[in-house]
Amino acid sequence: MKTSQKPAELFTLAPTPQQHIQKKDPIRLFMVLGLAILSLSGCVQQYRIMTDWYSPPKIARLPDLGPLAVYLFTDNRAEKDTQVGLSGFERFSATGIASRANVVYVSEPVARTVTQAFTDGLRERGFPVIDRTKTPLDTRTPLSQGVVGLSGKILALHYEQFRPFLDDLHSMARGRIVLEAYDPGSGRKFWEKEYTRTITLGPRMPEREPRNKSPLGQVLAEVVVDAVYDPEFILAVGRKRNLEK
């Protein structure tokens, strides 16, 4: 049994950081330096997450409204399900969006928040709501007997915080949501309408709804209010309910 090996044969000394960079991984060094340069130049996008950005608005109640089965809205935006916009960038009239734009996310999927916002608004308005908000509406399956099905499509829910050239910070938010009502017997869609709101806040313009912490929450609240106060929506849902009786 041989045990006369030299220490250098039993143990390999770890290379110094300089040796590791030079001999082992020069490509990694260039990648790290490149990312650092890009970050300093504003070419790498950062991100931030907004939480508790929406609060339900105050809504007056109507009597004698029929029940609605509310289903999960569909997110038709060309963004990730939790992405809502950009913040902290400079906007130049000639070039549009400039450097250091941070991608803004919310803490849960937009479809879930919007669905819950409309569910809360309809309840406050006086509709007895049957909660189907965990699943999308499937017209191939029967709806609740005698109950109008309600769903929607989210076409836009977008937020930007930007600094115009030689000006202070501004905020903008836009919402476009389509409400859809479905026949309780056949499952066919019998009514739809789009609700759109855009708000822009300058550095000295107060928030319209102090309960909401961002223009994104404000614009969603205004879309909900527009819908639940809309006489056309109330009459369409009520008229269909009466025809089913």
153-165 confidence digits (pLDDT tens): 999 999 988 766 6
The domain of 138 spans 47-244
Whether 181 and 175 have beta carbons less than 8 Å apart is answered as no
Examine the domain organization and report whether 119 and 140 are in the same domain: yes
pLDDT digit string, tens, across residues 89-102 = 555 544 555 556 78
- Residue 105's CB is within 10 A of a number of other CB atoms, namely 19
The DSSP code for 65 is: P
Q: How many domains does the chain have?
A: 2
- Is residue 223 assigned to a domain? yes
What CA–CA distance (Å, rounded) separates 90 from 138? 44
Short-list 242, 137, 127, 133, CA closest to 189: 137
- Is residue 11 assigned to a domain? no
Residue at which a domain ends, from 6, 24, 44 = 44
Quick check: 113 pLDDT over 70?
A: yes
- Is residue 218 assigned to a domain? yes
Examine the domain organization and report whether 26 and 143 are in the same domain: no
- Is residue 6 assigned to a domain? no
Examine the domain organization and report whether 35 and 67 are in the same domain: no
pLDDT at 16: 44
Q: Which one is predicted more confidently, 103 or 175?
A: 175
- Is residue 122 assigned to a domain? yes
**CA atoms in the 13 A half-sphere facing the CB of 61:** 9
Short-list 115, 103, 102, 123, CA closest to 54: 115
pLDDT at 42: 44
- Is residue 189 assigned to a domain? yes
Examine the domain organization and report whether 98 and 29 are in the same domain: no
The average confidence (pLDDT) of the chain is 77
Quick check: 203 pLDDT over 90?
A: no
Quick check: 135 pLDDT over 60?
A: yes
Examine the domain organization and report whether 81 and 190 are in the same domain: yes
Q: Considering the entire predicted model, what is its pTM?
A: 0.74
Residue 166, sorted as left (phi over 0), alpha (psi -120 to 50) or beta, turns out to be: left
Q: Which one is predicted more confidently, 38 or 177?
A: 177
Examine the domain organization and report whether 213 and 112 are in the same domain: yes
- Is residue 27 assigned to a domain? yes
- Is residue 10 assigned to a domain? no
Examine the domain organization and report whether 31 and 72 are in the same domain: no
pLDDT at 209: 45
pLDDT digit string, tens, across residues 1-33 = 444 444 333 223 334 444 444 444 555 555 545
- Judged by average pLDDT, the poorest of 113-117, 146-150, 169-173, 193-197 is 169-173
Examine the domain organization and report whether 20 and 126 are in the same domain: no
Examine the domain organization and report whether 20 and 82 are in the same domain: no
pLDDT digit string, tens, across residues 71-82 = 999 999 999 999
Quick check: 136 pLDDT over 60?
A: yes
Q: For 103-130, what is the mean pLDDT?
A: 95
pLDDT at 242: 44
What CA–CA distance (Å, rounded) separates 40 from 215? 29
Q: Three-state DSSP class for 119?
A: helix
Examine the domain organization and report whether 153 and 38 are in the same domain: no
Examine the domain organization and report whether 127 and 29 are in the same domain: no
Quick check: 67 pLDDT over 70?
A: yes
Examine the domain organization and report whether 54 and 167 are in the same domain: yes
The domain that holds 108 is classified in CATH as 3.40.50.10610
